[in-house]
Amino acid sequence: MPRPGWKSVPVAMADRLVSPIVSRGFDRVLVRAPNLIDPMVSMGFAKDKISVTQSGVRDDFFAPGNGEEFRSKHGLDGEFVLYLGRLNPTKGLRYLVEAAPRVVGENPDTRFVLIGPDEGGHRSELEARIRALGLGENFVFLGPIYDQAQKRAALSACDVFVLPSGYEGTSQAVMQAMAQGAAVVTTTVGGMPFLIDHGFDGILIPFASTQHLSDSLNHLLAHPGHRRRMGERARKRASRQFRYSKLAARLSKIYETVNQASR
229 in the same domain as 183: yes
CB–CB of 94/126 below 8 Å? yes
Domain range enclosing 138: 60-241
Q: Which pLDDT belongs to residue 169?
A: 85
174 in the same domain as 140: yes
101 in the same domain as 31: no
Split into its structural domains, the chain has a count of 2
**DSSP letter for each residue of 119-165:** -TTHHHHHHHHHHHTT-GGGEEEEE----HHHHHHHHHH-SEEEE--
Residue 4 has pLDDT above 80, yes or no: no
CB–CB of 35/170 below 8 Å? no
18 in the same domain as 71: no
Query: Amino acid identity, residue 124?
Result: S
Q: Using a pLDDT cut of 90, give the percent of the chain over it.
A: 85
Q: What is the pLDDT of residues 53-78, one digit of tens each?
A: 989 999 999 999 999 999 999 999 99
75 in the same domain as 42: no
Q: Determine if the pTM surpasses 0.75.
A: yes
What SS3 state is found at 19?
Answer: helix
CATH of residue 156's domain is: 3.40.50.2000
List, in order, residues 6 or more apart from 90 with CB less than 8 Å away: 2, 165, 166, 167
156 in the same domain as 36: no
Query: Amino acid identity, residue 44?
Result: G
159 in the same domain as 190: yes
91 in the same domain as 40: no
Q: Can you tell me the distance from the alpha carbon of 174 to that of 178, in angstroms, rounded to the nearest whole number?
A: 6
112 in the same domain as 9: no
What SS3 state is found at 83?
Answer: strand
Q: Can you tell me the distance from the alpha carbon of 138 to that of 110, in angstroms, rounded to the nearest whole number?
A: 7
Q: Can you tell me the distance from the alpha carbon of 196 to that of 92, in angstroms, rounded to the nearest whole number?
A: 19
52 in the same domain as 166: no
Residue 1 has pLDDT above 70, yes or no: no
115 in the same domain as 230: yes
Q: What is the pLDDT of residues 191-245, one digit of tens each?
A: 999 999 999 999 999 999 999 999 999 999 999 999 999 999 999 999 999 999 9
86 in the same domain as 167: yes
Q: Can you tell me the distance from the alpha carbon of 170 to that of 31, in angstroms, rounded to the nearest whole number?
A: 10
Chain centre distance of CA 123: 19
